[in-house]
């Protein structure tokens, strides 16, 4: 039951965001739009829907965006772009982490420290 409630809350937040981005007043279609948003949330994440709204507002068709239904028609194409952008970001973070890991001292550096203190290694990691 909690999942349905959170889904309803997210759907309402999405629709209110849609109205805010279009700078329009909430009208009587809000209930229908919330149902559309709930349906979209069964397949897509909230972030994907919000990204689609942002993209559609920035790149509106010549006639303008007159309904939340436009989001539903465009989301498949735009969410693929969103997933690609997220994947590229994850890859960049992974590459940055691998560079940091590459800068860590090697085991041979530690063996030199052991020799300075006169301690013998129990296992030769460099062999």
Task: pLDDT tens for the chain, 127 residues: list them.
Answer: 456 777 889 999 999 999 999 888 888 889 999 999 999 999 999 999 999 999 999 988 887 778 898 998 889 989 888 888 888 989 888 887 776 665 555 555 666 666 666 666 666 665 5
Distance CA 59, CA 11 (A): 23
* 48 neighbors 71 (Cβ within 8 angstroms): no
Cβ neighbours around 89 below 10 Å, total: 10
User: Residues 15, 32: contact at Cβ < 8 Å?
Assistant: no
What is the reported pLDDT for 101?
Answer: 63
What residue spans define the domains of the chain? 2-117
């Amino acid at each position: 039951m909690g999942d349905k409630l959170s889904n309803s809350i997210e759907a309402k937040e999405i629709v209110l965001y849609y109205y805010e981005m279009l700078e329009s007043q909430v009208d009587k279609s809000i209930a229908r739009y919330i149902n559309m948003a709930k349906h979209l949330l069964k397949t897509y994440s909230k972030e994907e829907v919000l990204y689609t709204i942002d993209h559609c507002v920035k790149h509106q068709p010549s006639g303008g965006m007159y309904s939340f239904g436009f989001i539903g028609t465009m989301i498949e194409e735009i969410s693929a772009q969103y997933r690609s952008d997220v994947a590229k970001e994850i890859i960049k973070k992974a590459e940055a982490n691998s560079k940091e890991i590459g800068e860590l001292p090697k085991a041979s550096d530690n063996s030199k420290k052991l020799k300075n203190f006169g301690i013998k290694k129990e296992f030769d990691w460099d062999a």
